[in-house]
Amino acid sequence: MNSEPDWDLYRSFAAVLREGSLSGAARSLGLTQPSVARHVDALEAAIGTTLFLRTQRGLSPTDAALRLKPHVEALVATSAALLRAAADHAGQVRGTVRISASEVVGVEHLPPILAELRRRHPALGIELVLSNSIDDLLGRQADIAIRMVEPVQQALVTRKVGAVEVGLHARRDYLDRCGVPETMEALAGYDLIGFDAETPAIRAMAGRYPMLRRRLFALCADSDLAQLAAIRAGFGIGFCQVQVARRSPELVRVLEHDCAIELGLWIVMHEDLRASASCRAAFDALAAGLGAIARG
Amino acid sequence: MNSEPDWDLYRSFAAVLREGSLSGAARSLGLTQPSVARHVDALEAAIGTTLFLRTQRGLSPTDAALRLKPHVEALVATSAALLRAAADHAGQVRGTVRISASEVVGVEHLPPILAELRRRHPALGIELVLSNSIDDLLGRQADIAIRMVEPVQQALVTRKVGAVEVGLHARRDYLDRCGVPETMEALAGYDLIGFDAETPAIRAMAGRYPMLRRRLFALCADSDLAQLAAIRAGFGIGFCQVQVARRSPELVRVLEHDCAIELGLWIVMHEDLRASASCRAAFDALAAGLGAIARG
DNA sequence: GTTCTGCTATACGGAAATAGATGAACTCGG
DNA sequence: CCGAGTTCATCTATTTCCGTATAGCAGAAC
C-alpha cells in the first residue's frame, strides 16, 4: 500500500465486478484470464485488502470490493465520456451523444425529436439512457439530461424549455363503468395508480395532495411507463402528462381543476461539453423539440 | 482508433497536461520521460488526434487536448476518491476524508469542528477544499460538501443543519466617520463591498435587493474572505454572516431590519460513501458542529 | 562566445507483463 | 453415475513495455 496502482488494474477490477468471473472479465476486456487474475492480485496487494473470494464458480466480491464498486463505475463512465468527447473532431457533429431522460419522456416525446436530429446529422450516434431514479450527470453516465427539477449546480449548462402539466387521467370506458369522480376526496373509491418510490417530484406532489396516501393506491409502480400503460389498459385513474394523454383519444382527464401539477422542463449539460459541436447540436435539438411540445 | 486505450495512458495524459512537459510529467508520475512520451504517442494514435504540439520548451496542448482536459481531471479525482475509499478498512475511522466548503465557512467555522473531529479520531486525515465556485461533488473532488443551497439530487445524502443569517456589517470607526445608513437607498453613498461573479446565492440576493447594483460597489471581490477582510479593515460596508461578525467586537451590523438574508446550511455526501465509517464520522461531526453554530 | 540547464527524440538491452496451454475442482443435467 | 461445460491456478514462451544512455536543440547566465 504505497504508490498509486496502475489505472489498468481498476479497469480489470471493474470488469471482474461486472462479469463475476476472471474468465468473463478477460473475455470482455480482450485479455486472457491469467492476466486479469494478476491484475486483481496486484490491486489487492496495492490497497492491502482482499477484494474477492475465489470460488470454483467465479469470484465473489467482498464488502470492500462493493464499497469501491461505485467508484470504479464512475471511472468506467468517465472514461467512456472521454472517448465520446475524443471522437468529436474539430467542430463536426459526429461521434456519439448520450442522453438521459425519464422513461415516459424517452418513449413518448423524444423519438421524433431524435429522428429529426439524426436526419440533420447522419454521422451522429445517439445513446438513450432511460431511468427515473438515477442522477446520470453526477457520474458522467450521460452527456445531456432532461430533468423535471431545476438544477442548482453551477458546473452545468441548463436551459428551461417550458413546462409540462401532469393531471389525473383514465380511460373513457373505465369512467363509464365506475363513474367520474367529482372531488379529490372521492378518489379514494377508485382504482388509483401511483408511485412506489420517493423522488423529489413525488414528495412535492404528496405534499400538495395529502389525500393521495400511498396505501390508497391500487397499483404502485415506479416506472411511469408502467403507470401510463395501466391507465391505457383501463386499470383505473393515474397521473400522466396531459401532452401525452392528448394523443390517445380514449384517455380522459378527470378533476382537471382540482389536480394539476406543473413540472418545469430543463435540459442540462456538463459545462465541459459546451465546446462539443455534437453535444451542442443535440442540446439545441432537444430544446427546440421539447419546447414545441411544452407549448402544446 | 479501434479498441479502448489503456487507462494508464489517461493518467500520463493528465500529468502532461498538468505539468506542461513530458519530463515534468515523468517526474510527477515516477516514470521516465521516454515512457510518458510513448504513452502520449499511443493515446494520440488510439484516438486519432494530435493532442500536443511538441516544442523545445515543453508540450503545448491542442484544442482537442483542452476539450478532453475536464474528463481526465474527473478521472484523476475519481481515482483519488477510490483510493481514499480503499483506505477505509472495515468500519474503522481512518484514512482521509476530503471536505469542500466555502472559504468563509472553512476559515471561520470549520477549524474548531475539525480539531474536535481529529481529537476523537486521531487516525483520520482531513483534506479541506475551499472554493466558492466549484461544484466539488460533481467530479468527486470532495467526499463531503457544505452547501448554502438545497441539493436536489437523489444520489446524495443530505442533512440540513440549520441556517445562517447574512447581514450588512461595517467596522465601528467607519460608521463613526461616515455615519450610519438609515435606509437601503442611502447605502449608495457609502463604500460598499460586494461580489463580482454570479452564483445562485448572489442572484437570489440581487433579486431581493435591487438597489445593490453591481456598479455601486466600491470593492468587488469573489472571495468572501477578502470581503470579510475588507470589512474588518474598515474599508466600508459589506455582507457577512452574523455568526462570524459577532466574534469581532469592532464590527457593527447596519440596517438589521432592512437587510437580512437567511441561507440554509446543508451537509452533502455521496450516497456511495454512506458505508464509509470515516465519512460518516466526519459527516456527523460537521452536522453537530455546524448545527451548534447555526443555533447561535 | 561559452557553459549550463531545460526540453524532446531515438536506440537498445533487460525486465515484466501477456498469451497460450494444461491441470484440477466443481456444477449441472441426463 | 458420468460426461460436458464451467471455473481458477500454474507453468512457459513470447511479446511488450520500461529504463538507461545519448544526441540535438533552445534559451539563460556568465
Here the CATH number for the domain that contains residue A33 is: 1.10.10.10
Give me the pLDDT at residue B54, please: 86
Is B2 inside a domain boundary?
no
Q: Of A151, A152, A199, which has the smallest distance from its Cβ to B154's Cβ?
A: A199
Q: Of B11, B155, B200, which has the smallest distance from its Cβ to A7's Cβ?
A: B11
Give me the pLDDT at residue B171, please: 94
Q: Domain tally for chain A? A: 3
B211 in the same domain as B171: yes
A124-142, pLDDT tens digit by residue?
Answer: 888 888 877 666 677 778 8
List A residues 132-151 in contact with B (Cβ-Cβ < 8 A). 133-135, 137-140, 149-151
Domain end call among A44, A68, A84 = A84
Is A39 inside a domain boundary?
yes
A211 in the same domain as A175: yes
Q: Domain of residue B32: give its range.
A: 7-84
A193 in the same domain as A174: yes
Band (pLDDT 50/70/90 cuts) for residue B168 is very high
Give me the pLDDT at residue B135, please: 66
Residue with the bigger pLDDT between A115 and B134: it is: A115
Give me the pLDDT at residue B58, please: 82
Is B1 inside a domain boundary?
no
Does residue B128 register a pLDDT over 60?
yes
Give me the pLDDT at residue B215, please: 67
Within 10 angstroms of residue A165's Cβ, the number of other Cβ atoms is 16
Is B71 inside a domain boundary?
yes
Substitution target in A2, A44, A78, A152 with the highest count of B β-carbons within 10 Å is A78
Give me the pLDDT at residue A226, please: 80
- Minimum Cα–Cα distance from B156: chain A residue: A135
A152 in the same domain as A102: yes
Is A1 inside a domain boundary?
no
Chain A residues within 8 A of B78 when measuring between CB atoms: 71, 74-75, 78
Does residue B213 register a pLDDT over 70?
no
A85 with B75: Cβ contact below 8 A: no
For chain A, the farthest-separated pair of C-alpha atoms sits apart, in whole angstroms, at: 73
Is A2 inside a domain boundary?
no
Q: What is the mean pLDDT of residues B67-91?
A: 88
Give me the pLDDT at residue A1, please: 45
Does residue B7 register a pLDDT over 90?
yes
Residue with the bigger pLDDT between A295 and B11: it is: B11
Does residue B283 register a pLDDT over 90?
yes
Does residue B270 register a pLDDT over 60?
yes
Burial of A131 (0-12, 13-18, 19+ CB in 10 A): middle
Q: In chain A, at which residue ranges do the beta strands (DSSP E only) sit?
A: 52-55, 58-61, 95-101, 124-130, 144-147, 156-171, 192-194, 217-220, 237-241, 251-254, 260-270
Q: How far is CA A15 from CA A5, A19, A21, A37, in A?
A: 16, 6, 9, 11
Give me the pLDDT at residue A214, please: 65
Q: Please state the φ and ψ torsions of residue A279, each to the nearest 5 degrees.
A: -65, -40
Burial A212-250 (b: 16+ CB within 10 A, else e): beeeebebebbbbbbbbebbbebbbbbbbbbbbbeeeee
A239 in the same domain as A94: no
Which residues from 46-105 of B have any strand D atom under 7 Å from their CB? 56-57
List A residues 85-104 in contact with B (Cβ-Cβ < 8 A). 85-90
A247-288, pLDDT tens digit by residue?
Answer: 889 999 999 998 888 888 999 998 888 888 899 999 999 999
pTM for the full predicted model = 0.81
Q: Between A and B, how many CB-CB pairs are < 8 A? A: 131
B12 in the same domain as B31: yes
Q: What is the mean pLDDT of chain A?
A: 86
Q: What is the mean pLDDT of residues A107-124?
A: 90
Does residue B271 register a pLDDT over 60?
yes
Q: How far is CA B22 from CA B26, B33, B34, B47, B248, in A?
A: 6, 6, 8, 19, 50
Domain end call among A35, A61, A84 = A84
Give me the pLDDT at residue B56, please: 77
Q: What is the mean pLDDT of residues A8-25?
A: 92
- Nucleic acid strand D within 7 Å of A214 CB: no
A271 in the same domain as A242: no
Within 10 angstroms of residue A185's Cβ, the number of other Cβ atoms is 10
A124 in the same domain as A77: no
B40-71, pLDDT tens digit by residue?
Answer: 999 999 998 899 988 877 888 888 898 899 99
Chain B residues within 8 A of A4 when measuring between CB atoms: 79, 83
Q: What is the mean pLDDT of residues B220-228?
A: 81
Band (pLDDT 50/70/90 cuts) for residue A63 is confident
A78 with B74: Cβ contact below 8 A: yes
B244 in the same domain as B194: yes
Residue B138: give its domain's CATH number: 3.40.190.10
For chain B, say whether A35 makes contact (Cβ under 8 Å): no
Give me the pLDDT at residue A131, please: 78
Give me the pLDDT at residue A201, please: 61
A72 in the same domain as A27: yes
DSSP letters of A174-240? HHHHH----STGGGGGS-EEE--S--HHHHHHHHH-TT--GGGEEEE-S-HHHHHHHHHTT--EEEE
B276 in the same domain as B140: yes
Cβ(A192)–Cβ(A216) under 8 Å? yes
Does residue B196 register a pLDDT over 80?
no
- Minimum Cα–Cα distance from B71: chain A residue: A82
B155 with A140: Cβ contact below 8 A: no
Chain B residues within 8 A of A79 when measuring between CB atoms: 4, 7, 10, 71, 75
Substitution target in A50, A51, A138 with the highest count of B β-carbons within 10 Å is A138
Kindly report the bases of strand C lying within 7 A of a protein C-beta atom: 6-11, 17-21, 25-27
Helix (H, G, I), strand (E, B) or coil at A119: helix
Does residue A295 register a pLDDT over 90?
no
Is B105 inside a domain boundary?
yes
B132-145, pLDDT tens digit by residue?
Answer: 766 667 777 889 99
Give me the pLDDT at residue B136, please: 66
Is B97 inside a domain boundary?
yes
Q: What's the helix, strand, coil split of chain A in %, to 5? A: 45, 25, 30
Least reliable range by pLDDT among A7-16, B22-31, B206-215: B206-215
A155 with B135: Cβ contact below 8 A: yes
Band (pLDDT 50/70/90 cuts) for residue B155 is confident
Question: Angle of helix B7-19 relative to helix B33-47, nearest 10 degrees?
Answer: 110
A72 in the same domain as A190: no
A137 with B138: Cβ contact below 8 A: yes
Distance A7 CA to C25 C1' (A): 32
Does residue B23 register a pLDDT over 80?
yes
